[in-house]
Chains A and B, each alone.
Chain A
Amino acid sequence: MLDFQRYQLEFTAHIRSPKTAKKPMKVPDARMGVYSEIVFNNIYNSVSACFPVCRTILSKSAWLKLTRQFFALHQATTPLFREIPQEFLKFITSVADLPIYFQQLAHYEWVELAVSLQTVITPKLSKKTDLLNENPILAPANMLLEYDYPVHKISAEFKPKKKESTYLLVFRNTDFEVRFIELNPMTFQLLRLIQESKMTGEQALISLAEQIPHSETHAVIAFGLEILQNLIEQGALIGSVKNTN
């Protein structure tokens, strides 16, 4: 290591943690303070903007402490600013004393940013949408999510105490707005079969009917078709493509 680099590391160690790491010798306090303030504020603002609910769940001082720890202890590896929140998600997996639902809540808050900026390729859709005989296509920027807590309902007033499986579809519509739809477990399964296994609507619904005891296949198909049509109206499904399987 070169001499000037030893100085640089002392300098940044102090910026990251002004209380525990001494500033380099002979550097004036006031000037050093400019750096420890602006560099942390930058990180603080970027994290706070992405996680408004996480922030209100904790006390003001706890949030400040958490973001301080993030900056002091976490070596972020991305040069892209929009990925700073992802670095924060990585960091909180190592923090012990957070509420049990906190990591999932943070993930849920990050999803909005992630889906808004997802890069996508839109497949060529059939001219006439056929939800049963073709593979229904979700809005290309989307995430199908499964959480152990009702993350979308959490607020300062509602902090869940016990687990409650929660299924969400988050997607970007054609006006670039991010939308959230809460799903029942069956619709969640249906969309997974459609998106991941590329099934036709009918194939997916038959497969689901087989899993539901005492169900009648034609009734499941009729009910499922209604759900898919509703998702088309909401812009969550954008059409269908012919199955090549």
Chain B
Amino acid sequence: MSTLADIQGVGLGLKRELMPQIQNLYPNPSVTNINFVEIAPENWIGAGGKAEHDLAWFTERYPIACHGLCLSLGGPDPLNINFLKQVKTFLATYKIPLYTEHLSYCSDIQHGKAGYLYDLLPIPFTEEAVHYVAKRIRQTQDILGQRIAVENTSYYVTAPISTLDEITFLNAVLVEADCNLHLDINNIYVNSINFGFDAHAFLHKIPKERIVYSHIAGHYQEAPDLLVDTHGEDIIDPVWKLLEEAYQLFGTFPTLLERDTNIPPLPELMTEINKITALQASFR
């Protein structure tokens, strides 16, 4: 049985394009710095055939982290309990110790019916929303029988009705839900540019004791003041600096490289993986 302590070092998001490359190179030293892999339960629950076969291959060789996309913690429709139960079974079947989700929503209610939009939408930062989301995180943790971590999400629109800033909202939710934090370094940077706040000041207000996991990625610059979190480019220097600063402030924590679009061959991605490994080593 994997435990949370097995998720450590550096990980890679398990995209279909990358799987055969990892399988071909394993256990070659060139890929040894991949310490764990991450999957989205929405892509794997109930999938048979090659998907099931490949997942078995990876679970036999790597600790797995689950990073969800569709739980819709901030959604206006009721939490999908059936789906949560499927997630619970999935985590147990594959002995997955970590489940994280986004501090966002991906569902709505139109014409009296609930429905998914399959993307990460920004929750307005209000007191009411803090209580609402915290309650749903608690409900999730009760059903799963384990703590989850929530991720600070990238966004492009601040709701005009927001009364709090992002870090205040994030911290209020973490405390009220008593859950862990999945710290996304790139998202801090993206949001700081999109909304003109100081990324370093944001980082300094992160509750160290709640960090269990982190993401780092590249993004797309649509305009000088608009970055889109595509996970489709190399990580840029200011984001590397932010990761370094985070390790300095909080000590190292497991860090996963996300690359979802425009995926280069694995050896190229290994350059970034190896760089994270080296950075972590310099703080040990």
Contact = CB atoms under 8 A, between A and B. Distances in A.
Interface of A: 1-5, 7-9, 11-13, 15-16, 24-28, 30-32, 34-35, 38-39, 42-43, 46, 74-82, 84, 116-120, 141, 172, 176
8 contacts: A1-B76, A12-B108, A15-B117, A74-B115, A76-B115, A80-B43, A82-B47, A84-B118
Contacts of A34: 156-157, 222, 226, 228
B160 interface: yes
A141 B48 contact: yes
A76 B119 CA distance: 13
Contact of A77 (B71, B76, B115, B157): B115
A78 B116 contact: yes
Contact size range, B: 35 or more
Interface string B113-134: 1111111010110101100100
Contacts of B115: 74-77
A208 to B, nearest CB: 32
B161 interface: yes
B119 A116 contact: no
B43 A39 contact: no
- Tell me if B's interface is mostly helix, strand, loop or mixed: mixed
Most interface-central of B45, B105, B129, B156 (chain A CB within 10 A): B156
Contacts of A28: 157
A117 B43 CA distance: 11
A8 B228 CA distance: 21
B47 A117 contact: yes
A27 B162 CA distance: 12
A39 B161 contact: no
Interface string B143-181: 000000000000011011100000000000000000000
A233 to B, nearest CB: 22
A111 to B, nearest CB: 13
Contact of B80 (A16, A79, A120): A79
Contacts of B80: 79
B160 A24 contact: yes
A23 to B, nearest CB: 9
A8 B116 contact: no
A77 B80 CA distance: 10
A75 B110 CA distance: 7
Contacts of B159: 4, 7, 11, 24, 27
Contact of A80 (B42, B71, B75, B226): B42
Most interface-central of A16, A75, A118, A172 (chain B CB within 10 A): A75
B132 A2 contact: yes
A32 B128 CA distance: 23
Most interface-central of A12, A32, A82, A176 (chain B CB within 10 A): A12
Most interface-central of A31, A42, A141 (chain B CB within 10 A): A31
B46 interface: yes
Contacts of B118: 39, 42-43, 46, 76, 81, 84
